Amino acid sequence: MSSSRLGLRLAACLLNISEARRKNIVENIAKAALLEKNGQKHPEVSVLNIFSDRDYNRSVITIAASVDDLGNSVLAACLEAFQSINMELQEGVHPCLGAVDLIPIYPLSGVSVEECGAVARSLAESLLLRAPSCSLFLFGEADLPEKRTLVQRRKQLGWFTRRDFSALEPDLGAAPARRCGLTDSKLRR
């Protein structure tokens, strides 16, 4: 029986972080997504996969949850990443530009693309409240009204060529800081 027939409304985040060489940090970030505020394991949140590339020094943590719980789980993981990863020290062949580099939200079952965009926007606003020095660049359904694609945003930002991001004006938050870098929060189609 499919999850949509069971009434489950599921979404996933493929959280991209700028760390792969220190396994304990990657695991702590993933664990942060699994815990409720009281420190107990959240019964409706799962980390489905962790892919780490040591050359890139980048990991992708796949977090799945009900659409109502996903934002808080990803927020906890992002806050742990901001505390644990210093972009001034980060090295890798991929141009990782933020401690949390990318926060794409995808619908899995019973959830619309627009709802995932709303989760991404809400998550971006929550990140600013909890980590006011972060800077966020939106795309997809989170980037209203433009709905620019990731490729468009990366070209606009000079993602693969620029090294000084201090002059950029983020969609939300302060100018990019060297310690945390910049973060793309969005929904990918």
**Residue among 21, 31, 94, 147 flagged as catalytic:** 94
Work out whether strand 10-17 and strand 100-109 pair parallel, antiparallel, or are unpaired. antiparallel
SS3 content of the chain, % helix, strand, coil (to 5): 30, 30, 40
CB 77 within 8 Å of CB 61: yes
Residue 182 CA to residue 174 CA, distance in Å, equals 10
Residue 181 CA to residue 53 CA, distance in Å, equals 19
In the chain, which ranges are E strands? 10-17, 45-53, 58-66, 100-109, 135-139, 172-173, 182-186
Helix, strand, or coil (residue 32): helix
Residue 94 designated active-site: yes
Kindly list the catalytic residues. Answer: 94
